Structure 1
Amino acid sequence: MSERARPARAHDDPEVALELDRRHVFHSWSAQEGRRPMVVTKAEGSHVWDQDGNRLLDFTSQLVFTNLGHQHPRIVEAIQQQAATLCTVAPAHVNGARSEAARLIASHTPGDLDRVFFTNGGADANEHAIRMARLHTGRHKVLSTYRSYHGGTQLAVNVTGDPRRWANDLGSDGTVHFFGPYLYRSAFHATTEAEECQRALEHLEQVVAMEGPATIAAVVLESIPGTAGIMVPPPGYLAGVREVCDRNGILLVADEVMSGFGRAGRWFAVEHASDGTVVPDLLTFAKGVNSGYVPLGGVAISDAVHRTFADRVYPGGLTYSGHPLACAAAVATIETMEDEGIVEQAAALGAEVIGPALAAMAERHAWVGEVRGTGGFWALELVADRATREPLAPYGASSPAMDAVLAACRRGGMIPFANFNRIHVVPPLTITHEEARRGLAILDAALGEAAAQAG
């Protein structure tokens, strides 16, 4: 009997991969027709290669998760070694990779966040943190900011504040939104960081009072909002939120899915607040915990919340909670970060390279309205008019001008991260200063080219 002829394999031929993608893959956050996605054929360090063999500098860290870059040998080896010993096991059983990953995570989380519930990613981490908060407090409502992103699952997308919520929001999940601090587009007519902080906290107090403190289980905040714009909170804001929560018996959930594990120049971005004295009741993470090599997320849990479930069943779990391959990748990632001083490198990258270069771009380009960020976590807010602060693209969409900037970056050899009217500068934290300067020069040139085209 002759063997059936096999078609060309997708992982050997980019054209086959693209054709099969169009035929069989349903893409997230996209209209399915008319997409022209890039085929990534390989990756290494701070670079990826496309279907045409072009080597491109990755200034996105994909979705801001390859904190240690692509194909890091220590993480790859850890996954290989774990696969040779124990590929998978049910979460009820102890496995060494999960135990060590939990210990390492707890060694860096703030305060008494010493217990870890593992999930498959950031959305379900936020889902479970909210479920824990509701069961712990006996309350149902959850407060979060309008400019935020907390995940694409049903509850997480309702907690989300950005336009991706709109099509999924039935107003039935006990979620309430408020305005967080954002001085450049202040909802409070503030003119200084101090005013913005004070008025944003007063606004939160009013929302809590009007919603009824006894109905509110948690306030969920990204320690530094990521996809929504990398708005670093003004000094005193997170401490003020912590005080409002404490006074009203509300839990504070810090979403560190994007900002954690060195991205903001600290192990966790909440450490920037009040010299590290602000400790949330629950802290969610994913992405950078293992550089995204195998899906992993989790919730770091305070002692008080943990005690709630000491003798009471927690009604939740996941088939792949604490998956050995994912946890082995986390162990290798955290150990590498410790051994190579990655957090310190990220802080220096922001202070010495990215921050100064973006500030210089703001001087040269009229489209740059504001620069903000820290560590390896930065945003350029682009505007059509600095005086009016009209965005270069409308909220929830792109524009020909933004598309021109992105296209010029690609032609220059760099993949940019864009959201609405912003360019986010979020390269791997292992990027060399020389590579970072090259990527920033490409962005600088792209801004000039696109502005010239627009006339």
Structure 2
Amino acid sequence: MSVLECNNVTAEEIKNFDKKYNLHSWSAQGSLNPQVIEKAEGIYFWDSEGKRYFDMSSQLVNLNVGHGNKKIIGAIKDQADKMPFMGPAYAVDVRSILAQKVIEKAPDNMGKVFFTLGGADSNENAIKIAKMFTGRNKIFSRYRSYHGASYGAANLTGEPRRYTCEPGIPGFVKFFDPYIYRAGIEFKSEEAASKYYVDKLREQIIYEGEESVAAIFLETVTGSNGVIIPPKGYLKGIREICDEFGILMVCDEVMTGFGRTGEWFACNNWDVKPDLITFAKGITCGYVPLGGVLVDKKISEYFDNNTLMCGLTYNAHPLSCAAGIATLEVYEEEKLVENSKDLGKILGKLLEDIKEKHPSVGDVRYIGLFSAVELVKDKVTREALVPYGKDPEKIMPRIIGMLKEKGFSTYSHENNIMIAPPLTITEAELREAIGIFDKVMCFVDEYIKK
């Protein structure tokens, strides 16, 4: 079927072809009923029946600049006309310029960048770089984490999506996040919580043999597993452990990078400088695939005389790099990082109001335009609305479905609902969307009374 013929396919045919020929991720295929989407613009998209949806998760927390940005689309078209592909061994203008621009936005200890195609690729290569640089074999990462679904990235991942890659690669060690809301410990302060978790991690590293640990990987702010924001002093405590034992600190900023938390990189919120930063989503906002690994100057200098055993056919793809340059310019021209910080404060206030109003809302966590709402059966006991890994009544899909029926599109994980709109959203749009969310929480309040 040609491109022109595709324009004449009905919505029903599109859905039937999709179900017949496509495999969808993280889904039992037989129960799928995919919506047919026909257009998207700004913070909205429309289905084949003309219904409009607020994109309140920025698709997969990647569409920071919103749908249909003409500058980025134009840059892709121009690069396709000029040179759609050139192998990674060659110097190409867009590769060089984007690398320079990314380094300029990163913490000032960063020296070079290795471009990939996405977040999983970035974490795969960061694992290899850490092992090559240190000569060590163990990698620490957290249980409540998601770093990708390819084999190495899945071994980094702590949550159940790693199970299909087990038995895993030797040397991957898990530790617990500072998930204070569910810790079962009443800490006197955030600093006290940080000390507790950092001390436990230090002890675990010693028992694993500190001389064998290459890197500690962590999402700077835990993403889909609940937007868990590190308490005061936590990241600096991790940094101190790494410095003490010669371990590399790797911050996964695939979701949080490029303005999502109100800073170019989330680690800037705590004035911490990792040794490596992995990124993807926000660098091109999904218009074309791109990711990367930022490396500290000492690491980039190491590979001046030691072979970097990393390679991808589409490393620093010219179309992606052209889109990346345009995307960074959009962030600056439209002041989207600043908008994320400013509207993040308004979002936080709206979510706190929802928490106070609804018995079903146990906790709300937010930084910039990155937030999660945690649903409970009881605010006092903090019993989760959905037990870990179990939802026999399919209540979370029902809640997400109700939100979608009212034009609010997002996703959930366990008993958390993500709210992470495009950074282009206005205050009026934000208030309207949260108004929809507020109404659906009334249904959840009634549900927990049963």
- The CA distance in 1 between the partners of 2:125 and 2:185, in whole Å, is 33
Measured at CA, do residues 15 and 333 of structure 1 come closer, stay the same or move farther in structure 2, by a change above 3 Å? same
- The CA distance in 2 between the partners of 1:266 and 1:238, in whole Å, is 16
1:274-289 equivalences in 2 (<5 Å): 276=271, 278-289=272-283
Q: Which residue of 2 aligns with 1:342?
A: 336
Q: Match for 1:91: what amino acid?
A: P
- Cα pair 1:179 1:203 within 8 Å, conserved: no
Residue 370 of structure 2 is aligned to residue 373 of structure 1 = no
Q: Which residue of 2 aligns with 1:190?
A: 187
Q: Match for 2:147: what amino acid?
A: H
Deviations 1:52-93 (Å, cap 9, x if unpaired)?
221111001000000000011111111111111111111111
Q: Which residue of 1 aligns with 2:164?
A: 167
Q: Which residue of 1 aligns with 2:127?
A: 130
Q: Which residue of 1 aligns with 2:428?
A: 434
Residue 415 of structure 2 is aligned to residue 421 of structure 1 = yes
Cα-Cα RMSD: 1.8
Q: CA deviation at 1:337?
A: 0.9
Deviations 1:268-315 (Å, cap 9, x if unpaired)?
000111xx2x11111100000111110000001111111221122111
Q: Match for 1:258: what amino acid?
A: M
Q: CA deviation at 1:173?
A: 3.4
- The CA distance in 2 between the partners of 1:8 and 1:290, in whole Å, is 29
1:85-124 equivalences in 2 (<5 Å): 85-124=82-121
Q: Which residue of 2 aligns with 1:308?
A: 302
- The CA distance in 2 between the partners of 1:122 and 1:81, in whole Å, is 26
- The CA distance in 2 between the partners of 1:296 and 1:187, in whole Å, is 40
Which runs of 5 or more residues in structure 1 are unaligned? none
Aligned pair count? 448
- The CA distance in 1 between the partners of 2:153 and 2:53, in whole Å, is 33
- The CA distance in 2 between the partners of 1:100 and 1:23, in whole Å, is 43
Q: Which residue of 1 aligns with 2:202?
A: 205
Q: CA deviation at 1:191?
A: 5.1
Q: Which residue of 2 aligns with 1:77?
A: 74
Larger mean CA deviation between 55-64 and 192-201 belongs to 192-201
Q: CA deviation at 1:7?
A: 11
Residue 231 of structure 2 is aligned to residue 238 of structure 1 = no
TM-score by length of 2: 0.96
Please state whether the residue corresponding to 2:30 is helix, strand or coil.
Answer: coil
Residue of structure 1 aligned with 2:148, choices 138, 145, 151: 151
Q: Match for 1:367: what amino acid?
A: S
- The CA distance in 1 between the partners of 2:160 and 2:108, in whole Å, is 34
- The CA distance in 2 between the partners of 1:14 and 1:441, in whole Å, is 30
TM-score by length of 1: 0.95
Please state whether the residue corresponding to 2:31 is helix, strand or coil.
Answer: coil
Larger mean CA deviation between 342-351 and 159-168 belongs to 159-168
Larger mean CA deviation between 10-19 and 428-437 belongs to 10-19
Please state whether the residue corresponding to 1:33 is helix, strand or coil.
Answer: helix
- Cα pair 2:340 2:423 within 8 Å, conserved: yes
- Cα pair 2:39 2:45 within 8 Å, conserved: yes
Q: Match for 1:419: what amino acid?
A: H
- The CA distance in 1 between the partners of 2:390 and 2:89, in whole Å, is 44
Q: Which residue of 1 aligns with 2:16?
A: 19
Q: CA deviation at 1:237?
A: 0.6
Deviations 1:318-337 (Å, cap 9, x if unpaired)?
00111111111110110111
Q: Match for 2:202: what amino acid?
A: E
Identity %: 42
Deviations 1:193-241 (Å, cap 9, x if unpaired)?
2221110001111110110001100000111111111111011110110
Q: Match for 2:438: what amino acid?
A: D
- The CA distance in 2 between the partners of 1:40 and 1:326, in whole Å, is 24
Please state whether the residue corresponding to 2:359 is helix, strand or coil.
Answer: coil
Q: Match for 1:358: what amino acid?
A: L
Measured at CA, do residues 451 and 308 of structure 1 come closer, stay the same or move farther in structure 2, by a change above 3 Å? same
- The CA distance in 2 between the partners of 1:386 and 1:305, in whole Å, is 47
- Cα pair 2:152 2:169 within 8 Å, conserved: no
Larger mean CA deviation between 29-38 and 201-210 belongs to 29-38
